[in-house]
Amino acid sequence: MATYYQTATTKPEELTFYYVGSEKELISAEQAQKLVNLTSFEFVFSNDYLEKKTNPFWDVFDTICQLPSLKKIKVAGFESNTPFLKSLKKAKDLRHLILTNSHGTHKKAFRFEEDIFKTLLKLQIVDIATTVLFEDLPTSLFELPFLEYLNLNLDFQNINSVTEIEGMHKIFGQLSPYLKKIYVNTQNDKNEVLQNYLIDIITQNTHIEHISIGPQGYMKETLQDHELHKSEHTKSLSISELNITKLPKHVNKEYIEKIFLINNNLSSLGGRFSNLKVLYIKGNKNLDLEEVLNEFDLEKLEVLDLSNCKIKQIPIQFTRLSNLKELYISYNKIETLPVDFYKLENLQIFNIGGSNPITKNTEVKKGNPLLTLFKNFKKLNLTDTEKQIQTGVFVNNQEFISNKTHIELVEGCLKPAHKSIERNLIAYLEKKIKNPLQKTTPENIKIAFWGGWESITLKELKEFCKKYNAKVVDIESKDVTHICIGENFKKADIKTLQKVASLPWVLPSHIKQWMEQLETPFLKQLDESALENLEGFLRSSDIENQKMALEMMKTGGIPDNLLYAVILISLKKTLISLEVHKLLQKYVDAELYTILARIRVKFNWERMMNNLLKNPLINRVELAKAVIKFEDKNFLLANNILITEEPDWIIQYFTSNSELEWQTQRYVSIGKILKTKADLSNITILHIDWGDLKAHISKLKKMSNLKTIYIYTRSYHKNSKGYEAFQKECEEKYTQYTFIEKMI
């Protein structure tokens, strides 16, 4: 007779985490006594259930609170008039207490008993998201000796007198020396005296690393992100939407690194911050920006948000923000940008959209930042008008100059503002301009020079061209094929500019390299500008450019490390293009997508791969073999990729061990495994879903040495009509197996 074990997910004495989300998941108080190793308990119910007269939960909760290993309780749906607080006092070894709202509950303020925390002396984290009246805060909460993290949602509606306000000092004046993070979300905070007093008191506790006060908690972390640091000083301060006019006097300006002062009424920071890295000060409409920029070390700042501050002009100090990575200046009154704006070479996110009337950059001047394309931009938010101005008048920007009747280029205006501009010029060619660095037939080249040059003489250029059978022609020539753009311009009429904009072009500093590459496979060169130019092709929406890029990737002798960089730089655009333009699929093979798999592509992987694998030109087996070679099993299994008509060798890969896991079967069905010609005699242990077992149990004889079957069962399986009959069939008919049921 077979043995049939009925268990929960694991034995009660081994359970460390218990979650109750419905009445069906609730065990009895007697069963709860067996959870001797339980460390974490989570409970989410509605008040309707908790208010039932015959409710077994309270006995269970009381038992759980007395378990010896319990360290964390997270609950939602409780009211303070329930037995909850009485039982909670018994959890004497508790370290984490989290009270949250549940589906509209806690409309009334939660009331604590004064001595509730006197027995919970080991608490380190207290997160109370439900509303608590300030006058009902138990002083025992602030006497917890090891408290590290505190979040409160306070309502001050009944606080009116000065005496009551001064009572805050008793509560917040001497917080635990272990406390590192405090978040006070305020309601009914129109009392300016009250809120300023609260801010002043809390900021006196300079040992607290993160302080946040306000109605929305702009700095609020999740507890999963909560990591305590060893700092003995305040590092982060958030005081938002409280209409304050100055910072509290106790703020330790020497150590603070992050400040969130959103939607207040500040004109300045009121002192110098020597280590500031992040400053969010948007919505302060009386801000004196020049004064603010003198209140911290400009070279250390990495993030600056000045949105909606009625700023009209960017001060010259901006050019010293050399490490700035994110800048937000939307919804201001800015009319122009500083000439040296290009010096912000580390800028990655630049938001200038929304209401900024940038209208004064009507002519292009030497070193003007509007000629600069920031190499590191990850996100650029501009209006249509601002895009036109921000892009500037690069000679390849045909869209910009096509609707102009006259443009004057001031002498030196295209001189590279800093070292990355040359590479940027090549990387951002217009989509229909062919790549001047591609492998080209030299005898077809007719190159014109315009604007002068510094790095090479005209004689040298002619010698290079002669060597490769290329010709030097005048800019006015009808058959010019390429143009070399120098750095010294005086004037150019619109007709000349429009002609130049239609030609492939290159800078003088690239001419030698370009000429030398004409007889060499393009991508054998580890050249950064070549890499960026390939990126431009991959990003292009023009199908011919994409086709050319893929040809170069396949035939250009490209080294692995360069290809990785190309794919990583332009991944999203590349994959979208490959999927949308089905014509390009014939250029895609297993080798290319093996490389994508090797660098762990994440973007729309399932959808893209399934579409490509429908193409008969793709060798699915070779692709999968290559993937397995790199031991990326997750790629092979991901979302049914390569599932239809799996060859035997794939099944063999899944069944190479003596234990066949249920997770594997989620991707390659047990039915297909049993149909394969692969040898399954090595399997001795099988993990299988209840429904799959019922459907295929008669075919398990192919696994001739199978001894143990773990059955993964859900509650709806047990409620089905055939459950008991199948259980009986297993016990009576298939006596050669040991069945072990696992509830999931």
pLDDT at 467 over 80: no
Residue 201: inside a domain:
no
pLDDT at 340 over 60: yes
How many helices (H) and strands (E) are present in the chain, helices listed first?
28, 24
pLDDT at 459 over 80: no
pLDDT at 247 over 60: yes
Q: What is the residue range of 522's domain?
A: 442-639
Same domain, 473 and 605: yes
Q: Give me the pLDDT at residue 70, please.
A: 92
Same domain, 353 and 305: yes
Same domain, 592 and 722: no
Q: What is the arithmetic mean of pLDDT over 639-645?
A: 43
d(CA 603, CA 607): 9
Residue 677: inside a domain:
yes
Q: Give me the pLDDT at residue 174, please.
A: 64
Q: Give me the pLDDT at residue 416, please.
A: 28
- pTM value > 0.75: no
Region of poorest pLDDT, from 280-284, 425-429, 518-522, 629-633: 425-429
The DSSP symbol for 217 reads -
38 or 470, higher pLDDT: 38
Same domain, 584 and 649: no
pLDDT at 528 over 60: no
Same domain, 671 and 627: no
Model confidence band, residue 2 (pLDDT cutoffs 50, 70, 90): very low
Residue 557: inside a domain:
yes
Work out how many domains the chain is built from and give that number: 3
pLDDT, tens only, 250-286: 777 888 888 888 888 888 888 888 889 999 999 998 8
pLDDT at 704 over 70: yes
pLDDT at 534 over 90: no
Domain boundary among 601, 617, 639: 639
Model confidence band, residue 404 (pLDDT cutoffs 50, 70, 90): very low
Question: What are φ and ψ of residue 278, in 5° steps?
Answer: -130, 125
pLDDT at 417 over 60: no
Region of poorest pLDDT, from 231-235, 571-575, 647-651: 571-575
Q: Which residues pair with 296 in a beta bridge?
A: 273
Q: Give me the pLDDT at residue 64, please.
A: 92
Q: What is the arithmetic mean of pLDDT over 140-169?
A: 73
Q: What is the arithmetic mean of pLDDT over 556-580?
A: 38
- How many C-beta atoms surround the C-beta of residue 198 within 10 A? 26
Same domain, 308 and 341: yes
CATH number of the domain that residue 582 is part of = 3.40.50.10190
567 or 90, higher pLDDT: 90
Same domain, 513 and 654: no
427 or 252, higher pLDDT: 252
pLDDT, tens only, 102-118: 544 445 677 788 788 88
Q: Give me the pLDDT at residue 244, please.
A: 83
pLDDT at 248 over 70: yes
Strand ranges (E), 468-624: 471-472, 482-485, 505-506
- How many C-beta atoms surround the C-beta of residue 216 within 10 A? 14
Instruction: Give the chain's mean pLDDT.
Output: 65
Residue 197: inside a domain:
no
- What percent of the chain is predicted at pLDDT more than 90? 4
Same domain, 653 and 599: no
Q: What is the arithmetic mean of pLDDT over 670-694?
A: 82
Q: Is 456 exposed, middle or buried (0-12, 13-18, 19+ CB in 10 A)?
A: middle
DSSP for 26-93 reads: ---HHHHTT-TT--EEEEE--HHHHT-SS-THHHHHHHHHT-TT--EEEEES--TTSTHHHHHTT-TT
pLDDT at 398 over 80: no
Residue 119: inside a domain:
no
pLDDT, tens only, 439-453: 445 566 788 776 655
Same domain, 453 and 601: yes
Q: Give me the pLDDT at residue 654, please.
A: 64
Residue 627: inside a domain:
yes
Residue 668: inside a domain:
yes
Region of poorest pLDDT, from 211-225, 642-656, 683-697, 704-718: 211-225
Q: Give me the pLDDT at residue 474, please.
A: 80
pLDDT at 641 over 60: no
Same domain, 677 and 567: no
CATH number of the domain that residue 282 is part of = 3.80.10.10
Same domain, 656 and 729: yes
Same domain, 581 and 651: no
44 or 116, higher pLDDT: 116
Residue 505: inside a domain:
yes
Q: What is the arithmetic mean of pLDDT over 532-542?
A: 52
